[in-house]
Structure 1
Amino acid sequence: MRMSLISARERDRGRDRGQTTIEFLGMTPLIILTLVLMWQFVLVGYTFTLAGNAADEAVRAGTAAAPGDREAACQQAGLAKLDGAWKGDATVTCGGTGFVTADVTLKVPVLFPGSIAFPFTVHGHAGAVEEAKD
């Protein structure tokens, strides 16, 4: 009698072989989709960080430049701090007298920077009081 119980247990274990593999294969697309979405959210966050940093650098250069050179210095400093993949579609606008502002607009890449981008943009804005000229 004991022999038949052991045989039944072993027989039941044999039917479950491969179940873990099948479950893993079924979950693999969900795991990959989750990783892709997480990576895309990282790219969105990084784009916001780049836009804010570029605006800060642009306004810093704009406040230190002479009023006639402000726009060029501001744009150059804003674009200099961007990676190549984000620089292509970037726009940097500067303005103001006394209180200088800089606005940076970037497009969010889809999965790989330098490839296609989403149709929406990310904005960075910064402002600073103009430095006194002695």
Structure 2
Amino acid sequence: MPPRRPGRGDRGQVAIEFVGTVPLILLLVAAVWECVLIGYAFSLAGNAADEAARAGAVKGGAACAAAAKEHIGEAWDLDVDCGTSGDIYRAKVSLGVPILFPGLSFDRIEGTGGAALEKEAK
């Protein structure tokens, strides 16, 4: 009698599980990347607002917008609002929240900054 041929058992099971979990892993990576981009956008908005407020307090309104735009690329959809509030020069920077990469956005993130007005001694 010939020896009995063993059944296939669970051959190929690892490949099937891998194919099934790859979309979930890719979705998780995309979600983590989106969180990183949102955090980076908050950081950029806050820094740009601080830079803009300081430049505006020293040099005026035109310098405020230029300072905000200096460190932020075009893909972030930047809006800057500068002005005085008493003895404080305030800057409000608004950036588009990116969807997987800067340039494609669905909402806005705002950062605000303020600096004391610089006055010349008389």
TM-score for both structures, normalised by structure 2:
0.88
Q: Percent identity?
A: 46
Q: Deviation string for 1:87-128 (max 9, x for gaps)?
A: xx21111111421110000111211212x211x210000111
Report Cα offsets for 1:23-66 as digits up to 9, x if no partner. 1111111001000111111111111111001001101101111x
RMSD: 1.7
How many residues get paired?
Answer: 118
1:57–1:81 Cα contact (<8 Å) kept: no
Gap regions ≥5 residues in structure 1: none
Q: Which structure has the highest helix share of the two?
A: 1
Query: Which residue of 113, 119, 122 maps to 1:126?
Result: 113
Q: Secondary structure at the match of 1:94?
A: strand
Q: Which residue number in structure 2 is paired with residue 37 of structure 1?
A: 31
Give the structure with the larger strand fraction.
Answer: 2
Structure 2: runs of 5+ lacking an equivalent: none
Aligned AA for 1:92? V
Hey, what's the Cα distance between the residues in 2 that align with 1:49 and 1:83? 14
1:77 aligns with 2:63: no
Offset of 1:85 from its aligned partner? 1.3
Separation of aligned partners in 2, 1:94 and 1:113: 24
Spell out structure 1 runs of 4+ moving beyond 6 A: none
What TM-score results when the alignment is normalised by the length of structure 1? 0.81
Query: Matched residues in 2 for 1:128 and 1:112: separation?
Result: 32
Q: Distance in 2 between matches of 1:112 and 1:121?
A: 14
